[in-house]
Chain A
Amino acid sequence: MARMKFLCDADRCIECNACVTACKNEHEVPWGINRRRVVTLNDGLPGERSVSMACMHCTDAPCASVCPVSCFYTTADGVVLHSKDTCIGCGYCFYACPFGAPQYPQTANFGTRGKMDKCTYCAGGPEADMTMAEYQKYGSNRLAEGKLPLCAEMCSTKALLAGDGDIIAEIYKERVVTRGYGSGAWGWRTAYGDTITV
């Protein structure tokens, strides 16, 4: 089985936010929730870079380790998913995540957050694949349709790569070697304990 990962080549990202928009539209994500976002580092300074970030689907995901109700699971593809039926909205995963992936629909009294929402790698949730129940809770399940996440598929500069970790790492290495520079595999060492060295 493939081990699915995201990789954002910040030397190509132009901060167009198409990935953010595509994600929101594809999954009908509620207002206030951004499963994916683009962060610009050193904004306005020489060497500025933008990085598109969402759930990195970590190896040994810290969100899953702190969840008091154990609502997370990792698919055979290495995608970290969760059950909104089991989630109690405690917020622990939000505080455990190094990437700010878990988000909540509410900020009501007494810390009422509602069910956690995050990037599903376009792989839905525990419901049967491509059902309405799954779509309403988690958005579309493109992986079940044999497609890759829409954010990466939409990326006009092919900065955001999604797919088997080994393959996208090879593509990135090839790019770095060809053009002679690379700002690094953002988040990889934190998510997978190991970065891409060229």
Chain B
Amino acid sequence: MKHVLSALAFALALTLAAPAMVQAQQVNPTANSVTEDALFNALRPGQEVAGRISIPDAGAAGLIKPDNKGWAATHNTTVKSLTTWSIAGVLVLLALFYVVRGRIRIDAGPSGRSITRFAGIERFAHWLMAGSFIVLALTGLNLVLGRTLVLPLVGEGGFGTLSAYGKIAHNYVGWAFMIGLALSFVLWVGRNIPRAHDMTWIAQGGGLLKKGVHPPAGKFNAGQKLIFWLVTLGGIALSVTGYFLLFPGTIGQADWQFYQLIHGIVSALLTAIILAHIYIGSVGMEGAFDAMGSGEVDLNWAKEHHPLWVEEVQGKGAAHGSAHPAE
């Protein structure tokens, strides 16, 4: 009797369950499955199609990141053309300037007497920054333009080796630049606070365009102050972004891309500015290089280009018996 009852119960259970099983088979298993179309259309800028991954590399959970192509395109168009045009543009402008204005001579001619413009520590800071900047600029430009300009000249193998050393140099020399930047800032920030007479200097175009025009200037004229602040701010931007690029594991992919673009754009502009600085400090102006070369400049040059500073130093020199600039 007991067996009959349990058999009946089993049969009843089967008949009740049977329609439910049929129903389950009719359910479309993909009715609500994820589709590429849907995930893609739901993506907002900066987002990725991501899921779960069973390997330790958590970053690999991102399946499709369409925005990465956007970074690649920006790097290849905006950064590359900005670099090309800013540098080519400044070189053309400098060549034109040289043709029109020629070398800026000391109007009164060399006096034969010199005055100390930059102390050893100042020249050390300048050349630490300048030397490292040149290495960084060349190796950095190589990453942007080398493929177009250098690769055809040296071939793929040679270019690979060259660029590998360039990358190592860029990574290590960056620290020297940061030290030089910090040192220069500390040494010169006091002399680079904008003054009222800087407006006169700017209004007269720094006397650059016309012979015999020498607007007022202290130890640093308004143009040099501008360079100082551009180098300081640009240098800080490059140092901060460069630091993150050196330690990519500490930041996400989108952050890296952002820092890389900032780094590329700022360095292109700063390189163009520095080219102009190099020009006026060497070929462009008689007597200018001595300031950072020996540190001693001709007195007539100093009187023409930094009259307020000469007055200050000579006044001080009379009072204290020293021709050394105050620092």
Using a CB–CB cutoff of 8 Å, the interface residues on chain A facing chain B are: 10-11, 15, 17, 20, 32, 34, 37-43, 46-51, 53, 62-63, 65-71, 83, 85-92, 94-100, 107, 110-111, 180-187, 189-190, 195
Instruction: Kindly supply a per-residue 1/0 record for chain B positions 25-59, scoring 1 wherever the CB is within 8 Å of any chain A CB and 0 otherwise.
Output: 00010111111110110000000011111110101
Q: Which residues of A contact B163 (CB under 8 A)?
A: 68-69, 88
Write the chain B residue with the least CB distance to A97.
Answer: B68
Distance A89 CA – B28 CA, assembled complex (angstroms): 48
B54 touches A38 (CB 8 A): yes
A184 touches B53 (CB 8 A): no
Q: Give the interface segment out of B216-224, B241-249, B294-302, B305-313.
A: B241-249
Q: Which residues of B contact A182 (CB under 8 A)?
A: 30, 35
A69 touches B68 (CB 8 A): no
Main secondary structure of the interface of B (DSSP, over half): helix
Q: Which residues of B contact A66 (CB under 8 A)?
A: 72, 75-76
A85 interface neighbour in B55, B64, B157, Cβ under 8 Å: B157
Q: A86-B156, A86-B157, A88-B163 are in contact. Are A37 and B246 (CB under 8 A)?
A: no
Distance A162 CA – B249 CA, assembled complex (angstroms): 33
Taking each of B67, B69, B71, which has the highest tally of chain A beta carbons within 10 Å of its own beta carbon?
A: B69
Write the chain B residue with the least CB distance to A73.
Answer: B156
Could you tell me the distance in whole angstroms from the C-beta of A146 to the nearest C-beta in chain B? 29
B171 touches A110 (CB 8 A): yes
Taking each of A15, A66, A187, which has the highest tally of chain B beta carbons within 10 Å of its own beta carbon?
A: A66
Interface residues on B, range: 35 or more
A186 touches B63 (CB 8 A): yes
Distance A180 CA – B28 CA, assembled complex (angstroms): 9
A69 touches B160 (CB 8 A): yes
Could you tell me the distance in whole angstroms from the C-beta of A74 to the nearest C-beta in chain B? 15
Instruction: Kindly supply a per-residue 1/0 record for chain B positions 275-303, scoring 1 wherever the CB is within 8 Å of any chain A CB and 0 otherwise.
Output: 00000000000000000000000000000
Q: A70-B156, A86-B157, A111-B171 are in contact. Are A184 and B36 (CB under 8 A)?
A: yes
Write the chain B residue with the least CB distance to A185.
Answer: B36
Q: A68-B163, A86-B156 are in contact. Are A53 and B63 (CB under 8 A)?
A: yes
Tell yes or no: B172 within 8 A of A by CB: yes
B68 touches A95 (CB 8 A): yes
Main secondary structure of the interface of A (DSSP, over half): loop
Instruction: Kindly supply a per-residue 1/0 record for chain B positions 65-108, scoring 1 wherever the CB is within 8 Å of any chain A CB and 0 otherwise.
Output: 11111011101100000000000000000000000000000000
Further pairs besides A48-B34, A110-B246: 17, Cβ < 8 Å: A41-B34, A47-B32, A47-B33, A48-B33, A68-B143, A68-B146, A69-B151, A69-B163, A86-B156, A89-B164, A96-B69, A98-B67, A111-B246, A111-B248, A111-B249, A181-B28, A183-B33
Q: Which residues of A contact B49 (CB under 8 A)?
A: 41
Could you tell me the distance in whole angstroms from the C-beta of B110 to the nearest C-beta in chain A? 47
Q: Which residues of B contact A89 (CB under 8 A)?
A: 164, 167
Q: Which residues of B contact A99 (CB under 8 A)?
A: 63-65
Distance A181 CA – B39 CA, assembled complex (angstroms): 16
Q: A69-B160, A107-B249, A190-B64 are in contact. Are A183 and B35 (CB under 8 A)?
A: yes
B51 interface neighbour in A39, A95, A180, Cβ under 8 Å: A39
A65 touches B72 (CB 8 A): yes
Distance A139 CA – B7 CA, assembled complex (angstroms): 63
